[in-house]
Amino acid sequence: MSITIVTLDGPAGVGKTTVARELADRLEIAYLDTGAMFRAIALTLGEGSWELPVDKLVPELNRLDFDLEGVGRHSALLLNGFPLSEDIRSEQVGLWASHLGRIPVIRDFLRRNQQAIGQVTPLVAEGRDMGSVVFPDAKYKFFLDASIEIRAKRRFDQLKEMGMLEDLESIQARIRIRDDQDRNRSIAPLRPAPDAVVIDTGLLDAQGVLEEVLGHIAKKNI
Ligand code: DC
């Protein structure tokens, strides 16, 4: 029997992380935050790394080794054996990650890593292209969406909670750039897989989204 994979995709600030973590907890499987992988590479390689030629990028990537440990909310991504730094969570690193996400060798490298993890571990996989490209055969696929105003406000509250104060307008401006870049890149652009359930999270809180996702999973299993 193939391993259970639940994919959860959507744009920046839509609330995927909260829902994915809770969902993994309820299903008692691991949670894979693929945005954190792009962010960790961005923080490791630094500003401007998206302008490096491919022959300089590849040896840098070959030095990186991702592992996933634990289950549910206790799932932890390790890079070369160490937990990821909280510094990956800033909006600036998110924007760098989006720049790197347009580069084919970076996407290929991470897709191979993500698929290798999914081959041995049941997962809730969160990102932009989990249902469309990385796990096209996943049994359960969800795509979350909401207006840019709602997403910017959610991201503002989330960053505030982590002690990272940023003003709402610049968060919205960065999200707009990321949206544009993530949706319009030539490989693995952000869009729902044809067989994904699309959920508008604008009128729902995280608990409401979680219940809706769990409802679809239960229905599919009847
Ligand atoms: O989900 P996030 O905000 O942590 O993701 C940061 C950036 O990484 C996002 O703007 C684009 C890139 N990304 C991607 O291209 N594909 C993924 N599966 C996950 C993230």
Q: Looking at ligand 1, which residue's alpha carbon is closest to its atom 10?
A: 98
**Counted domains in the chain:** 1
Structure token digits, residue 153: 């406000």
The answer to the question of residue 214 being in a domain is no
pLDDT score recorded for residue 39: 97
The answer to the question of residue 62 being in a domain is yes
Name the residue range of residue 167's domain: 5-204
Please state the pTM of the whole predicted model. Answer: 0.93
Alpha helices in the chain (DSSP H): 16-27, 34-45, 54-62, 91-100, 104-120, 148-161, 168-184, 206-220
Q: Ligand 1 center to residue 35 CA distance, Å?
A: 4
CATH number at residue 179: 3.40.50.300
Which of 104-108, 132-136, 152-156, 157-161 is least confident? Answer: 157-161
Identity at 179, one-letter amino acid code: D
Work out the percent of the chain whose per-residue pLDDT is above 70: 99
Nearest-angstrom CA–CA distance, 74 and 24: 10
Q: Ligand 1 center to residue 222 CA distance, Å?
A: 33
Nearest-angstrom CA–CA distance, 213 and 198: 10
Work out the percent of the chain whose per-residue pLDDT is above 90: 85
Residues in the chain, total: 222
The answer to the question of residue 192 being in a domain is yes
Q: Looking at ligand 1, which residue's alpha carbon is closest to its atom 15?
A: 101
Q: Ligand 1 center to residue 27 CA distance, Å?
A: 24
pLDDT of 75-133, one tens digit each? 999 999 999 999 999 889 999 999 999 999 999 999 999 999 999 999 999 999 999 99
pLDDT score recorded for residue 10: 96
CA separation (Å) from 85 to 43, 45, 130, 217?
9, 14, 23, 33
The answer to the question of residue 222 being in a domain is no
The answer to the question of residue 220 being in a domain is no
Q: Ligand 1 center to residue 214 CA distance, Å?
A: 24
Average of per-residue pLDDT across 122-147: 97
Nearest-angstrom CA–CA distance, 151 and 15: 8
The answer to the question of residue 51 being in a domain is yes
Atom of ligand 1 nearest to the CA of 42: 8
The answer to the question of residue 210 being in a domain is no
Atom of ligand 1 nearest to the CA of 101: 15
What band does 222 get if pLDDT is binned at 50, 70 and 90?
low
pLDDT score recorded for residue 2: 63
The binding-site residues of ligand 1, defined as CB within 6 angstroms of any ligand atom, are 12, 34-35, 38-39, 94, 97-98, 101, 127-129, 178, 182
The answer to the question of residue 114 being in a domain is yes
Q: Looking at ligand 1, which residue's alpha carbon is closest to its atom 2?
A: 35
Atom of ligand 1 nearest to the CA of 95: 10
